[in-house]
Amino acid sequence: MSQWKLFRVVLCSIVFGLSRPAFSAEDESTATPMRLEINTPYSEMATDFPPWPQEVIIAGESVHRYKRFYSGDIAVEIYESEPLTLRIDDFPIDEFVTVISGKLILTVAGEEPQHFEVGDSVLIPKGFTGIWEMQGNYRELLVMMNESE
């Protein structure tokens, strides 16, 4: 199994419940709207996210952290990364992203790069293949779908 495929398995395990989230779909309290604190301090973010495999890193270092807000049919979290450029092959999940700080550049082979800045949102579909570049002190609010239909 390649490092990338192994990382995808680990990523999905973490995203979909390896660690017990603060809230889950089974909690009755989740029927109440939940405020998402997008400016969560660095000290409150987890760093147990595995590093990206070297084989997918084009530039930068794999230093990142996250804060899980919710996990049920979807997972909602803040993800933060130091500047990093990755070559993604067959992204394993659907992911909705809103850029909170820094800049995201997504490039599909043969197409123009798509730039996303603070306040911009993008849907990255399962199967995305291309370049994923996070610039500056990158932070995003993301919603990950547990299964694509």
The CATH number for 70's domain is 2.60.120.10
Residue 76 near residue 38, CB atoms below 8 Å: no
Give the angle 107-84-16 at the CA atoms, nearest 5°: 85
pLDDT at 29: 53
User: Residue 110's domain spans which residues?
Assistant: 3-145
Q: How confident is the model at residue 41 (pLDDT cuts 50, 70, 90)?
A: confident
| Mean confidence (pLDDT) of the chain | 83
Number of domains observed in the structure of the chain: 1
Residue 54 near residue 100, CB atoms below 8 Å: no
Q: Which residue has the higher pLDDT, 4 or 41?
A: 41
Q: Which residue has the higher pLDDT, 39 or 14?
A: 39
pTM: 0.77
